[in-house]
Structure 1
Amino acid sequence: MNYFRKNSGTGSNKQASTPIRMKIILGIIFVLFALLIGQLAYLQLAYGSRFKAEVAKTDSTVVSNQVPRGVMYDAKGRILVGNKANNAITYTKGASTSTKQIYNISNALSAYIRLNDEKPTSEQLAEYYLADQANSTRIQAKMPKSQLDTKKYSNSEIYQNEIAAVKKEKINFTDRQKTAALIFNKISGAYTLSTIYIKNKGLTDKEIAEVGEHLSDLPGVGIGTDWERSYPNGSSIQSIIGSVSTEKSGLPSDNLQYYLSQGYSRNDRVGTSYLEKEYESLLKGSKSTSEVITKANGDIQQTKTVYKGQAGSSLVLTIDAKYQKQLQSTLKRVYNSALASGAARYSSGAYAIAMNPKTGALLGVAGLSHNPKTNKTVDNALGVINQSFVMGSVVKGATVSGGLINNVITPTNNTLSDAAVYLPGSAVKKSVYPIGTFGSLDAPTALEVSSNIYMMHLAMKWVGAKYVPKQYISMPSNSFEILRRNFSMFGLGQKTGVDLPGEVSGIEGKSFDSQGRLLSGSLLDLAYGNYDAYTPIQLVQYVSTIANGGYRMQPYIVQSVGRTGNNGKIYVNYNKKPNVQQRIPWTQSELNVVREGFYRVVHGTNGWGTAHPLKNVKPSISGKTGTAQTFYYDPDNPNRKNPPELINATFVGYAPSSNPKLAIAVVFPGLDPDMEGTYTLQVAKAMVQDYFKLHK
């Protein structure tokens, strides 16, 4: 009984103590809440305005934009390459633009513009389609669960699975949806705070007006101006001028890191070839800069221009646009006649170049590239610096000059035997005319009748060869070096240093056979221009050196650099000065031997003279013709047996003969030897007459 009373008393104490503990806990909680509320009240009263300012705070970022490239003018101030301004719809991407926002903007903008000159890919259409969450959910519901397994695939792989599923749907997109897909793709690929062009070609007044009316509903969209290269005086010289990348292609991948290190953006347009590339640093100008102010949520609040930028520098070229047109037209006309006659069936093209022999300024550059397989011909003016050919007898002026300079012959003693050369175990080496036509020749006459035999005897005497007809020939091991050193003085086989990228030095034939023996026969061929290959620009530099009295001038095409003022005038900052690369150590009497020979090539009375059709051209022309044997090379059948035998027909000259102001070179490679005609002389005649009509 006592037991029960004790037990009952213990239970009563527990029940009585529980409310006290709860009260303690609740009291602690109340105190903590009171402290928290007090702290919040303190922060609100003491720092509320500061927090409100923090929320409303904006961020400022400086961005840059391209400016128009520099203009290129011809020697008379005519615009060769300009910038055509185009209205454009632009978009500046915010710092926190979401995919949903891009989708909505794309749909809205597609109601006002069309991108008819572009076609979206299936990939772009699928990405646009999936940007709508409802579409994405529907596609995922149709897909096998295994393709959505995050353990098996990464997020990007799952997305690619969704794109593949959309493609299988074969959805018929409307024209407006296709435009929206293109816009979506452009905006999605834009960098944060960068401005891109949504449409910058063919923008109509209606499109501009409608977009302008709804700019408030199109965040980030604006109306601006873009530019593209224009050629108001024709595009015949475009292969010299080069091209510029598009905003879509951006920086060339092979030089990406270089351009990025120079401050370019990936979508910047840069010169990708020739003058546009060579003078990129001047033509690009300095970018404009703008301050973009963004809200705390990343939306763009305001854009202010900080620096308007400076358009690229202007280039004044040495080429006269009118003469350039005439030159290209003449070359096409004559070459087409060669094609029509069958003479140029296997020809690879034709090239012509004119230069001021006293300064090195290029006055006209024309070229054609012909595909014998398709019979198509395209402009290729750059062939004058990057195509090499065996040029034939046009280089004999350099051979005679070397003989004179090295005292192998003299102005008063330069007669050599004209007996054909018979090397043991090989065919006779002779000139075009029959063996025995001349017993001996002096240097001017050898140039006039284009004697191969004279040049071979001169070369053997020069290098100290030992020769017994049909039995024996021996030459020093440095014989090729002797002749090539002489040719290089005139620029043959050497890069000229012209201010264009891509120039080649030519092709040098072998000097020794596989057993280390000197190729004596090839050295004799070299002496009259039938071995090493040179470029057309090397030919014009070589003949200019004879024309101006012995100064090898560096060719150039940019005369000056400056800027174009608002009044249209060009303010020059830099003028190119003529550069003498080498002085030929002639005496006047030695030079006169070569000049007399070149004059007689055109004006001589010998029946074997090679350029008499130019005799009556005014002003007087002096020059040298050439032919060199070659073969048709079929790239699709490089081992073709018995390929067609062809010739390279060439001409170099200068006018007037007494005081040269124009030097020219013409090359027609790969002509039928039985149909050589006078094609090079026809071009040369027109080059001289057209130039002096324009420059009286």
Structure 2
Amino acid sequence: MDIIKKRTGSQAKSTIPFRLNLLFFIVFALFALLVGQLAYLQIVYGGKFEAEVNRTDKTVMTGSVPRGMIYDSKGRLLVGNSTENAITYTKSSGVKSSNIYTIVNRLTKYVSIEKETLSDRDKADYILAAPNKESKVAKQMPKSWRVDSNGDSLTNTQIYNNEVKYLKKEGIHLSDAELSRATLYKKMSAAYSLSTVFLKDKDLTSKEIAEVSEHLTELPGVSIGTNWNREYPQGKSIASIIGGVSTEQQGIPDDELNTLLASGYSRNDRVGTSYLEKSYESILAGTKSEREVQIGANNQVKKSKVVYSGQKGGNLNLTIDSKFQKKVQSALSTEFAAAQTAGITQYSDGAYVVVMNPKTGAIMAMAGTKNDPQTGKTSEDALGVINRTFVMGSAVKGATVLGALMDGVITPTNNTIADNPIYLPGSAVKKSVYPVGTYSSLTAEKALQVSSNEYMMALAMKEGNAKYEPKVSMTMDSDIFSKMRGYFNQFGLGVKTGIDISGETAGIEGSTRNSAGQLKTGSALDLAYGNYDSYTLIEMAQYISTIANGGYRLKPYIVQSIQKTKNNGDKGAYESVTSPTILNKVGFTQSELNVVRKGMYDAVHGSDYWTTATRLKDLTPAVAAKTGTAQSFYYNPDDPNNSDPPETITTSLVSFGPYDDPNIAMAIVFPNLTSESGSYPQLVAKQIYTDYYKMTGQS
């Protein structure tokens, strides 16, 4: 037994050291190989790896530039830019929420941020961005909010949403200071990767700028820059025509997102959202600045430099004289206020006027006063000229007469017609405002002077080959509506004018047949004297300008020219100048036109008691005009199904002057008054002519 023990001990002593030595040898060999490999990598690839650590990617970032200016016809600035200092933030790719949280808390030491209305989700996002806050909240949540029914962990997104839910359930209470930081956190977090957002661009003090500048190294992505806002040195009398520009938060409107992104815009770019700002976006926007940004291996912005400072947007020069515009708006507002004082505007939409150069199509002024029938409050609404329609009444009779002349049912020398009312079965008599029997017959000129409805209905009956038996029946050709509307369209009534402002609507045509499929002959008669179809006021201005200039339907325009901007911000070379555009030539002869022009002159200067526009007769130089009165109804938007809406009166006027050589034409409407009074449009026109003649030295 002793011998066995001695042998076993002897074997142990000799075996264990061998195994240890072998193990040590292997470890030493592996260690030697590792040291050799490290030395090899250091010597051969050391420079490469060092370069990789210090690697930077270069990318080009674009920045917005101030929009172009908008000037009136005399070079006065209507829309400019106010430039203000701003604190910006450029979001690095892959930046963590905890990093943004840290920057926010540092930045708010130097800058006061006005708190905004935040959702509970916004507040929770800020709270959870604090270091280790997510893990703490996760531990406090019920286990079922961290794992599913099988015990498997939920996704990170699901857990985060449950953390937000947990905070909401427990109640979120932030101090004013914390709300300010949460507001800033929301702005910075919402930024797209490598995009720049404005953190503060209003009321930034010099002290705040200085302190932020001193601590930029501890505020990665934060910088000092400038921002711009639209300003209106001449007031906002035509602000609705000019339109608006989106904020950085609003960015590109959804309906234009794909188009503008494809054109090089960013989602948070400020763009024109309506009317001139939108129609001329490509001109006003300018060319973006370009900045080369170096991004390190940690995805942080290491360095940036401006490689192209950008080009400020081009400038628009309008056809509108801002001083004349203010006078036109004042004249309109004064007379609408008078109508309010008279107590006849409780159902009124407001009042509108547009003044146009009949020789070129240039818009000289465009004004509107919109009235809220529910509150009686008024607001500026120049755009109502192009996007609201009204039944204009007798103001369209010039087109009715010229249509009949072109149709051949009357001639310049043979146009006397009996002045008889129309009696249709089952309806009230159709007649003029003056008593039946006042005139036995009328010429076309006299019919325009006294605004005879009977005469216009007789023209429609002639054009439609009517068969009429009083109080029994009337039949007309089935194409009577298309025939009369075809003539009206030649003057611009019932079709878009093509004005260079987005948002124009066209007039509305009434139905031509009743529910039984029968031709509405009575409505055809109403159409003839302007009491059926509705038109925009810009259509009325185009129509009267066509009569004033000898038959040329011109495209209205409000932008006279476009100019580039020099590097110093001054106006540069002209890019384009608008020339008159003839849309069509109406097919009447000069002798036919003279009939209507004479009738409109007599409507102002005639001595007959029923002459309609005599409030303009004292103007020098002399003018021509045609008044209009139409029956209308007020439809309360809060009670759209009212089967018995209040009946109202719409009064209108078209006019041009000087009569011998017109260089100004206008259209005016006062819709939905509660009593008939054609004086308001005439008084507005008289004041406009007086101001215009004085400003141009024609009086």
Sort the TM-score into its range (normalised by shorter chain): over 0.9
Superposed CA deviations along residues 157-196 of structure 1, whole A, max 9, x for unmatched, are 4323333443455555333322211111111112222221
Is the counterpart of residue 313 in structure 1 residue 314 in structure 2?
A: yes
Superposed, 1:254-653 pairs within 5 Å as 254-565=255-566, 566=568, 568-653=570-655
Distance 1:406-1:57 versus aligned 2 partners, 3 A rule: same
Q: Kindly provide the amino acid, as one letter, of the partner of residue 50 in structure 1.
A: K
Superposed CA deviations along residues 662-689 of structure 1, whole A, max 9, x for unmatched, are 0000011101135x25111111111212
Q: CA deviation at 1:251?
A: 0.9
Question: C-alpha distance in 1, partners of 2:228/2:279?
Answer: 21
Superposed CA deviations along residues 587-618 of structure 1, whole A, max 9, x for unmatched, are 21111100000001111111001111111123
Q: Kindly provide the amino acid, as one letter, of the partner of residue 687 in structure 2.
A: A
Q: CA deviation at 1:7?
A: 12
Q: CA deviation at 1:652?
A: 0.3
Superposed CA deviations along residues 256-275 of structure 1, whole A, max 9, x for unmatched, are 12221111111101111111
Q: CA deviation at 1:15?
A: 8.0
Q: CA deviation at 1:291?
A: 0.4
Question: C-alpha distance in 2, partners of 1:438/1:625?
Answer: 20
Question: C-alpha distance in 1, partners of 2:46/2:139?
Answer: 48
Further displaced range: 546-555 or 87-96: 87-96
> What SS class does the counterpart of residue 276 from structure 2 fall into?
helix
Matched residue, 1:56: 54
Q: Percent identity?
A: 52
Q: CA deviation at 1:414?
A: 0.7
Question: C-alpha distance in 1, partners of 2:603/2:153?
Answer: 83
> What SS class does the counterpart of residue 477 from structure 2 fall into?
coil
Matched residue, 1:68: 66
The question of whether the paired residues in 1 share the 8 Å contact of 2:423 and 2:430 is answered with: yes
Q: CA deviation at 1:11?
A: 10
Distance 1:18-1:214 versus aligned 2 partners, 3 A rule: closer
Q: CA deviation at 1:374?
A: 2.0
Distance 1:45-1:139 versus aligned 2 partners, 3 A rule: closer
Aligned counterpart in structure 1 of residue 84 of structure 2, from 83, 86, 95 = 86
Q: Kindly provide the amino acid, as one letter, of the partner of residue 253 in structure 1.
A: D
Superposed CA deviations along residues 13-47 of structure 1, whole A, max 9, x for unmatched, are 79866765665555444333323322221221222
Matched residue, 2:660: 658
Q: CA deviation at 1:505?
A: 1.2
The question of whether the paired residues in 2 share the 8 Å contact of 1:110 and 1:177 is answered with: no
Question: C-alpha distance in 2, partners of 1:592/1:552?
Answer: 17
Q: CA deviation at 1:239?
A: 0.4
Q: Kindly provide the amino acid, as one letter, of the partner of residue 47 in structure 1.
A: Y
The question of whether the paired residues in 2 share the 8 Å contact of 1:563 and 1:571 is answered with: yes
Aligned length: 693
Q: CA deviation at 1:135?
A: 4.5
Q: Kindly provide the amino acid, as one letter, of the partner of residue 379 in structure 2.
A: V
Q: CA deviation at 1:639?
A: 2.9
The question of whether the paired residues in 2 share the 8 Å contact of 1:111 and 1:176 is answered with: no
TM-score, normalised with respect to structure 1? 0.95
Question: C-alpha distance in 2, partners of 1:482/1:249?
Answer: 48
Question: C-alpha distance in 1, partners of 2:61/2:364?
Answer: 43
Is the counterpart of residue 102 in structure 1 residue 93 in structure 2?
A: no
Question: C-alpha distance in 2, partners of 1:580/1:226?
Answer: 42
Q: Kindly provide the amino acid, as one letter, of the partner of residue 657 in structure 1.
A: Y
Distance 1:44-1:666 versus aligned 2 partners, 3 A rule: same
> What SS class does the counterpart of residue 46 from structure 1 fall into?
helix
Superposed, 1:204-283 pairs within 5 Å as 204-283=205-284
Further displaced range: 581-590 or 565-574: 565-574
The question of whether the paired residues in 2 share the 8 Å contact of 1:397 and 1:447 is answered with: yes
Superposed CA deviations along residues 628-668 of structure 1, whole A, max 9, x for unmatched, are 10111112222324322111100000111111000000011
The question of whether the paired residues in 1 share the 8 Å contact of 2:652 and 2:678 is answered with: no
Distance 1:152-1:430 versus aligned 2 partners, 3 A rule: farther
Further displaced range: 274-283 or 464-473: 464-473
Question: C-alpha distance in 2, partners of 1:88/1:549?
Answer: 57
Question: C-alpha distance in 1, partners of 2:207/2:37?
Answer: 60
Question: C-alpha distance in 1, partners of 2:50/2:496?
Answer: 70
Further displaced range: 479-488 or 135-144: 135-144
Further displaced range: 307-316 or 191-200: 191-200
Q: CA deviation at 1:403?
A: 1.2
Q: CA deviation at 1:124?
A: 2.4
Question: C-alpha distance in 1, partners of 2:544/2:660?
Answer: 14
The question of whether the paired residues in 1 share the 8 Å contact of 2:113 and 2:181 is answered with: no
Aligned counterpart in structure 1 of residue 113 of structure 2, from 112, 115, 132 = 115
Question: C-alpha distance in 2, partners of 1:641/1:220?
Answer: 63
Question: C-alpha distance in 2, partners of 1:153/1:392?
Answer: 71
Matched residue, 1:127: 125
Question: C-alpha distance in 2, partners of 1:116/1:10?
Answer: 87
Superposed CA deviations along residues 517-552 of structure 1, whole A, max 9, x for unmatched, are 111110011011011111000000000000001000
Superposed CA deviations along residues 469-518 of structure 1, whole A, max 9, x for unmatched, are 22231111111111010000000000001111111111101111222211
Question: C-alpha distance in 2, partners of 1:13/1:88?
Answer: 85
Q: CA deviation at 1:400?
A: 0.5
Is the counterpart of residue 35 in structure 1 residue 37 in structure 2?
A: no
Question: C-alpha distance in 1, partners of 2:275/2:211?
Answer: 41
Further displaced range: 42-51 or 629-638: 42-51
Question: C-alpha distance in 1, partners of 2:171/2:38?
Answer: 58
Q: Kindly provide the amino acid, as one letter, of the partner of residue 313 in structure 1.
A: G
Is the counterpart of residue 186 in structure 1 residue 187 in structure 2?
A: yes
Further displaced range: 164-173 or 432-441: 164-173
Q: Kindly provide the amino acid, as one letter, of the partner of residue 354 in structure 2.
A: I
Further displaced range: 324-333 or 129-138: 129-138
The question of whether the paired residues in 2 share the 8 Å contact of 1:114 and 1:176 is answered with: no
Q: CA deviation at 1:60?
A: 1.2
Q: Kindly provide the amino acid, as one letter, of the partner of residue 81 in structure 1.
A: V
Q: CA deviation at 1:219?
A: 2.3
Question: C-alpha distance in 2, partners of 1:331/1:159?
Answer: 60
Question: C-alpha distance in 2, partners of 1:300/1:152?
Answer: 35
Further displaced range: 317-326 or 535-544: 317-326
Distance 1:118-1:330 versus aligned 2 partners, 3 A rule: farther
Question: C-alpha distance in 2, partners of 1:206/1:21?
Answer: 75
Question: C-alpha distance in 1, partners of 2:695/2:565?
Answer: 26
Superposed CA deviations along residues 546-565 of structure 1, whole A, max 9, x for unmatched, are 00010000001111111133
Superposed CA deviations along residues 254-295 of structure 1, whole A, max 9, x for unmatched, are 221222111111110111111111111111111000001122
Question: C-alpha distance in 2, partners of 1:629/1:105?
Answer: 67
Distance 1:655-1:18 versus aligned 2 partners, 3 A rule: same
Question: C-alpha distance in 2, partners of 1:186/1:82?
Answer: 27
Distance 1:309-1:411 versus aligned 2 partners, 3 A rule: same
Question: C-alpha distance in 2, partners of 1:370/1:152?
Answer: 62
> What SS class does the counterpart of residue 414 from structure 1 fall into?
coil
Q: Kindly provide the amino acid, as one letter, of the partner of residue 60 in structure 1.
A: K
Structure 1: gaps of 5 or more residues: none
Q: CA deviation at 1:377?
A: 1.6
Q: CA deviation at 1:576?
A: 0.8
Question: C-alpha distance in 2, partners of 1:147/1:392?
Answer: 71
Question: C-alpha distance in 2, partners of 1:80/1:619?
Answer: 31
Further displaced range: 87-96 or 264-273: 87-96
